[in-house]
Amino acid sequence: MWRDPDGRQRTLRLGKCTERAAGATLRGFELLLEARQLGAALQPDTVRWLAGVGDKLYTRFARLGLVQPRVAAARPTLGDLLQRFDASLTVGPGTRAAYKQATDSLREYFGVSRPLDSIGPGDAEFWRKHLVETKLAKATVAKRVNVAKLIFRRAVRWGLITTSPFADIKPGPQTNPDRLHYVGRGVIEAILEHCPDSQWRTIVALCRYAGLRCPSELVAMRWGDVNWERGRLAVRSPKTANYEGRGLRLVPIDPALRRVLLERFAEAEHGEELIVPRLRGRTAANLRTHFLRIIARAGVRPWPRLMHNLRSSCLTDWCEQFPAHVVACWAGHSAVVAAKHYLQVRDSHFDEAAGLVGSGVAAIPAAEAAAKAAAQGRAPNRTEAQNSAQPPAAYDSASLGDTKCCSGQRYRMGAAGFEPA
């Protein structure tokens, strides 16, 4: 009980509580009342005590005019986080588009008004399950989960949440070996013959013989990037431009690529700067549809991931001739990334390792091999021998020839062996 400045008696009831809690509240309340009566600022200890007071008791203080009412802090939402994440990105257009697919999926599933602190690990698990049930490829699911993990890690770093609900979610593999396909030089030469013009031949040759990313690295290719004398090609990569020392790389000009480039150079108009003018400014050009028509005219069966596997085949050829660090420099990424996403095991690798290439080794016909396998019958079963009534005869020391045992060996093993029957 106390009297306010107007002389009115006021009362504050705590309700049922322990004597210790009542004493602590009384000490804090007296400091609060004293500061109000003197018109002084609250001491740091009083401020810390007041911050720890529950909402119910604090509301009673506010009704008595001792403190200002609490203003509920706005809870950050998923929409706020995704907007801030998008504004913080410093990546290329292709990576930004991949991030957008993941953020759109989060918006669609959770809603932009969903408070961040209400999304728990269980919600993250169900979101991943939802992606799997929509029949997305495993690599796509893994990519989107990794982006979600990145987004919520930044939310923790920015202080929006204390822990990430995606911290323990397993994204799965981002590689899909079933979609890798080696495109041989013979197939490419057949396709080059059916390209409608030199520009299309240049697109295909740059992807297959120089390992360029399509279309992002093709768009910026200029004649000034071609060093005819030293056989080198300067490649600018928007994807790795934000990494120090990786925005520009040099690749060798393959003899097959040189032939195509010379043809294109002979047809280029005077003063023309771009090697492939039809791609001018088209960083998101869709070349797949027309490339499929060219492949069909060449009588070749289409392969999965048309442009990606052209680059993959080029890197596979390089790795068979040059060290890994050289190929990584030419490809514009690390050797680990190359082994994970691009390099392929070909049938010729098995043939060469087995000595079937240029060795004159005659292969056994499949029919003959199958007949011999059938004639040999079923191999004896060790279990049957162990379970038979008659134990096998012990080896005679004479059957071992001149082999001598260790001088410390004094006893021979009997028919039953060491193990109990």
Question: Per the structure block, which two tokens stand in for 17?
Answer: 């509580």
Question: Per the structure block, which two tokens stand in for 343?
Answer: 């390099």
pLDDT band at 103 (very low <50, low <70, confident <90, very high): very high
The whole-angstrom separation of Cα 23 and Cα 372 is 97
Least confident among 6-10, 211-215, 258-262: 6-10
The whole-angstrom separation of Cα 253 and Cα 259 is 10
pLDDT band at 138 (very low <50, low <70, confident <90, very high): confident
Least confident among 44-48, 285-289, 355-359: 355-359
Closest CA to 420 of 383, 386, 373: 386
Distance from the Cα of residue 357 to its chain's centroid:
38
Distance from the Cα of residue 338 to its chain's centroid:
13
pLDDT band at 84 (very low <50, low <70, confident <90, very high): very high
pLDDT digit string, tens, across residues 5-28: 777 888 888 888 899 988 888 888
* Residue 327, pLDDT above cutoff 90: no
What is the number of helices (H) and of strands (E) in the chain? 18, 5
Distance from the Cα of residue 12 to its chain's centroid:
60
Tell me which of 14 and 393 has the higher pLDDT: 14
pLDDT digit string, tens, across residues 367-381: 554 554 455 554 444
Residue type, position 118, single letter: S
pLDDT band at 402 (very low <50, low <70, confident <90, very high): very low
* Residue 166, pLDDT above cutoff 90: yes
The pLDDT value recorded for residue 237 is 84
Least confident among 28-37, 262-271, 303-312, 338-347: 338-347
The whole-angstrom separation of Cα 144 and Cα 172 is 11
Residue 343 near residue 319 (C-beta atoms within 8 A):
yes
* Residue 400, pLDDT above cutoff 60: no
The pLDDT value recorded for residue 107 is 94
- The DSSP string of 295-320 is HHHTT----SSHHHHHHHHHHHHHHT
Contacts for 99 with CB less than 8 Å, ≥ 6 apart:
86, 89, 91, 147
What is the residue-averaged pLDDT of the chain?
Answer: 80
- The DSSP string of 171-191 is ------GGG-----HHHHHHH
pLDDT band at 143 (very low <50, low <70, confident <90, very high): very high
Euclidean distance between the first and the last CA atom of the chain, given in angstroms as a whole number: 92
pLDDT digit string, tens, across residues 27-82: 888 888 888 778 788 888 888 888 888 888 888 888 877 788 877 667 899 999 99
* Residue 219, pLDDT above cutoff 60: yes
Residue type, position 9, single letter: Q
Contacts for 343 with CB less than 8 Å, ≥ 6 apart:
312, 315, 316, 319
The pLDDT value recorded for residue 91 is 80
Distance from the Cα of residue 224 to its chain's centroid:
35
The pLDDT value recorded for residue 393 is 45
pTM: 0.56
The whole-angstrom separation of Cα 49 and Cα 29 is 10
Least confident among 48-62, 105-119, 253-267: 48-62
Q: Which domains does the chain have, with CATH numbers?
A: 2-63 (no CATH), 78-174 (1.10.150.130), 179-349 (1.10.443.10)
- Overall average pLDDT of the 117-141 stretch: 92
DSSP one-letter code for 232: E
The pLDDT value recorded for residue 284 is 53
